[in-house]
Amino acid sequence: MEDGNAVIDESISLMSPSPVEKKKGDPVQAGTINGNKTFVMVTEKVGSEVVLPEPIP
């Protein structure tokens, strides 16, 4: 996260059961859902460089 802060739902990408508060300098994973805040992030990996975890059966 380049600037701002947000409460992000990481359940899709990291299987985290609850929203996580992120602030400037924290990493933001692909596939996460932003709550209702505004922030700026820098994309470091795209396309085939992004790996999402396999769902746990």
Question: What is the full per-residue pLDDT of the chain (57 aa) written as tens digits?
Answer: 899 999 988 877 666 677 889 999 998 877 788 888 888 988 888 888 877 666 655
- If 0-12 CB within 10 Å is exposed, 13-18 middle and 19+ buried, where does residue 22 land? buried
* Closest residue by Cα to residue 55 from 15, 1, 9: 15
Which pLDDT does position 26 carry in this prediction? Answer: 92
Which pLDDT does position 23 carry in this prediction? Answer: 92
The Cα-based distances of 36 to 6, 7, 47 in angstroms read 7, 8, 26
- Annotated domain spans of the chain: 3-37
How many other C-beta atoms can be found within 10 angstroms of the C-beta atom of residue 5?
14
Long-range contacts of the stretch 19-27 (C-beta < 8 A, 24+): 25/1, 26/1, 27/1
Which pLDDT does position 24 carry in this prediction? Answer: 92
